[in-house]
Amino acid sequence: MRLKTAQQWVKQDWKKSKPVDEKTEILFMLEELGEFAEMIRKTEGHKDRKELKVDLEKELGDLLICLATLANRHGVDLEQAFLKCKKKIEKRHQQGF
């Protein structure tokens, strides 16, 4: 699935839910980021690698949904935002640090 398609799906799916304000959306994202950080911390423990990969994928998916939700709120095309950022980074790497 392309990023643009995923972002559109998030937009359509939110129409089925009760709207939340931007502060709540950001808090959701921070919560998901914390859960992702917890999974990373567990890599140093004894968690089964296969189970950990599933957890990391879930948390990154949740973060992507949050990011798409915020982008939709502000009319930002994530695919275009990524491409602009990619171009900037590539230019920086060509020039050296």
- Residue 60 is predicted with a pLDDT of 93
Instruction: Encode pLDDT of 54-84 as tens digits.
Output: 788 899 999 999 999 999 999 999 999 999 9
Other CB atoms closer than 10 Å to residue 39's CB: what's the count? 19
* Amino acid letter, 77: D
Local confidence band at 43 (pLDDT 50, 70, 90 cut-offs): confident
Q: Are 60 and 36 in contact (CB under 8 A)?
A: yes
Q: What is the CATH number of domain 3-95?
A: 1.10.287.1080
